[in-house]
């Protein structure tokens, strides 16, 4: 199985399966001398973990981790950093019934067709358990980029049909509510909607908005590694993602060029734009304005309603799943979006060092 590596200089390889001994990540290319605050890795893993509130899956995953290499006396050594997260709470029995069937819209059919076998005990590499490894690596990337002054913040913008109203005042202390929405009245509606749908055995999708602030001008490598292309790749590599739009995105198609263009002006010595429909990236290169994008997540595919599907013998069957699943993955995906964005920026900060001689 190829494709477990992400990045060019600040690179990660994730490994492990949801029901194996554990999962982990090897970070290659992180410069020596970066101070590692383990509590920041711990905090982001807690934000991603299942069982964190009544609107997530009741599955419990122990998020304790071991830094096996690459850090000495609290600082990176320049050697590969291996972070291992042991698996402790597998309930493989929950998955026995899924051995013979293809869950609609899950990865069962494609994994079996491609590899000739599949890990039915929790989904193996297709399980979002793998994203814990990225979140651990993303926390290291966040420490690296914050040393360069770059800040990343994501939050839940929409759950199903409930969205933050335009022009609402936002409180970005999103950890104050379990749905990670920066508008408390909307957060309450979202939580109630997830509760309702959970009781009915169904699921919901939603949108995460992410902003990257104080990103230096010049990140992004034309032509195939445009910063926007790498961000899209990063976001689409997250389980259950169905859409990505940056800046004005799909809405921008409704505007005229005269409405859409971001006019330049000088603010003291700094070149800025009056509007930011470009989403902080022009020609694939960051222009110093805030980078912002939306990531769309589909409703969780494993639901507890009766569904028609096929089994391994390609016979039509009726499926009724039992077990522990997220009624909506979106609140748990916020730290995953942040982690992937941080990995892209960390990589491009390092890549940009080779763009011209005075770097
Ligand atoms: C944080 C998170 C938690 C998830 N939890 C579940 C879950 O409990 N049940 C499920 O069927 N899918 C869950 N998913 C989505 C599946 O991993 C994903 O739909 C599946 O691997 C198929 O991939 P695709 O949806 O990208 O095609 C979760 C995704 C994320 C990001």
Q: List pLDDT tens digits, range 158-195.
A: 999 999 999 999 999 999 999 999 999 999 999 999 99
Q: Is 12 contained in some domain? A: yes
CA 73 and chain centroid, separation? 30
- Whether 359 is covered by a domain: the verdict is no
**Residue 203 CB neighbours (<10 A):** 22
Q: What pLDDT is stored for residue 92 in this prediction?
A: 60
Give the total number of structural domains in the chain: 1
Angle at 281 between CA 5 and CA 224, to 5 degrees: 40
Q: For 240-264, what is the mean pLDDT?
A: 98
Ligand 1 center to residue 325 CA distance, Å? Answer: 9
Q: Are 176 and 157 in contact (CB under 8 A)?
A: no
Full domain range(s) for residue 127 = 5-354
Instruction: Please name the residue whose Cα sits nearest to atom 25 of ligand 1.
Output: 240
Nearest CA to ligand 1 atom 3: 329
Contact partners, residue 181, CB within 8 Å, separation at least 6:
155, 156, 157, 159, 164, 174, 187, 190
Pocket of ligand 1 (CB under 6 A): 57, 106-107, 126-128, 131, 238-240, 300-302, 325-326, 329, 332-333, 336
Given a cut of 70, whether residue 93 has pLDDT beyond it is no
Dist. CA 105 → ligand 1 center (Å): 10
Q: Regarding beta strands 81-86 and 206-213, do their DSSP bridges make them parallel or antiparallel, or are they unpaired? A: unpaired
CA-nearest residue for atom 24, ligand 1, is: 240
Diameter over CA atoms, the chain: 70
- Using pLDDT thresholds of 50, 70 and 90, give the confidence band for residue 280: very high
**Residue 2, strand partner residues:** none
Cα distances (Å, whole numbers) of residue 103 to 43, 195, 336: 33, 23, 24
Please report the atom of ligand 1 found closest to the CA of residue 324. 8
- State the number of CA atoms in the 13 A half-sphere of 162 facing the CB: 18
Spacing, Cα 300 to ligand 1 middle (Å) = 6
Quick one: pLDDT band at residue 19, thresholds 50, 70, 90?
A: confident
Cis bond before residue 258 (omega within 30° of 0) = no
For residue 288, what pLDDT is reported? 98
pLDDT, tens digit, 9 for 90 and up, residues 312-345: 999 999 999 988 899 999 999 999 999 999 999 9
Centre of ligand 1 from the C-alpha of residue 357, in Å: 45
CA distance 223 to 106: 33
Eight-state DSSP code of residue 221 = B
- The stretch 111-121 carries a mean pLDDT of 87
Distance CA 225, CA 106 (A): 30
The residues, ordered by sequence, that sit 6+ positions from 221 with a Cβ below 8 Å of its Cβ are: 227, 284, 348, 351
* Closest approach atom of ligand 1 to CA 242: 26
Confidence grade of residue 91 (pLDDT, cut at 50, 70, 90)? low
Centre of ligand 1 from the C-alpha of residue 327, in Å: 10
Q: pLDDT tens digit string along 285-319?
A: 999 999 999 999 999 999 999 999 999 999 999 99
Query: Is-contact 288 270, C-beta < 8 A?
Result: yes
Residue 95 confidence (pLDDT) above 80: no
Burial class for 334, CB neighbours closer than 10 Å (0-12, 13-18, 19+): buried
Q: Which of 337, 350, 330, 352 is nearest to 284 (CA)?
A: 352
The Cα 314–Cα 306 span in angstroms is: 18
pLDDT above 70 for 90: no
Mutate which of 208, 326, 331, 335 to test ligand 1's pocket (most atoms within 8 Å of Cβ)?
A: 326
Torsion of CA 237, 243, 246, 248, to 10 degrees: 180
**Nearest residue (CA) to ligand 1, atom 20:** 106
CA–CA distance, 220 with 226 (Å, rounded to integer): 5
pLDDT band at 122 (very low <50, low <70, confident <90, very high): confident
Q: Residue 94: its pLDDT value, please?
A: 62
Q: What is the DSSP string of 284-338?
A: TEE-SSPEEEEEEEPPPS--SS-EEEEBTT--EEEE---S---S--HHHHHHHHH
Average pLDDT over residues 136-147: 98
**Overall average pLDDT of the 137-150 stretch:** 98
Confidence check: pLDDT of 62 > 90: no
* CATH number for 25: 3.60.150.10
Q: What is the mean pLDDT of the chain?
A: 95
């Amino acid at each position: 199985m190829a494709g477990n590596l992400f990045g060019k200089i600040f690179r990660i390889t994730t490994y492990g399966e949801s029901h194996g001994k554990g999962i982990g990540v090897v970070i290659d290319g992180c410069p020596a001398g970066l101070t590692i605050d383990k509590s920041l890795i711990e905090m982001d893993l807690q934000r991603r973990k299942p069982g964190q509130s009544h609107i997530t899956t009741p599955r419990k995953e122990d998020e304790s981790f071991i830094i096996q290499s690459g850090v000495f006396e609290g600082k990176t050594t320049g050697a590969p950093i291996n972070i291992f997260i042991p698996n402790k709470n597998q309930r493989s029995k929950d998955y026995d019934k899924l051995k013979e069937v293809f869950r609609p819209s899950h990865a069962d059919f494609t994994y079996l067709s491609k590899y000739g076998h599949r890990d039915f005990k929790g989904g193996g590499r297709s399980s979002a358990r793998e994203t814990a490894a990225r979140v651990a690596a993303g926390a290291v990337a966040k420490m690296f980029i914050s040393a360069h002054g770059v800040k990343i913040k994501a939050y839940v913008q929409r759950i199903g049909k409930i969205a933050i109203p335009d022009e609402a005042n936002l409180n970005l202390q999103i950890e104050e509510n379990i749905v990670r929405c920066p508008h408390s009245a909307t957060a309450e509606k979202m939580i109630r909607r997830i509760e309702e749908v959970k009781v009915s055995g169904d699921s919901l999708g939603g949108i995460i908005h992410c902003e990257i602030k104080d990103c230096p001008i010049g990140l992004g490598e034309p032509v195939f590694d445009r910063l926007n292309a790498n961000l899209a790749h990063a976001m689409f590599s997250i389980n259950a993602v169905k859409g990505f739009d940056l800046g004005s995105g799909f809405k921008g198609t409704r505007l005229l060029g005269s409405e859409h263009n971001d006019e330049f002006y000088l603010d003291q010595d700094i070149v800025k734009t009056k509007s930011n429909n470009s989403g902080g990236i022009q020609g694939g290169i960051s222009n110093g304005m805030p980078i912002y994008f939306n990531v769309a997540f589909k409703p969780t595919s494993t639901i507890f309603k009766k569904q028609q599907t096929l089994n391994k013998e390609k016979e039509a069957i009726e499926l009724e799943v039992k077990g522990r699943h997220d009624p909506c993955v979106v609140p748990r995906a916020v730290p995953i979006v942040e982690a992937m964005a941080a990995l892209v920026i960390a990589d491009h900060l390092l890549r940009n060092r080779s763009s011209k001689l005075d770097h």
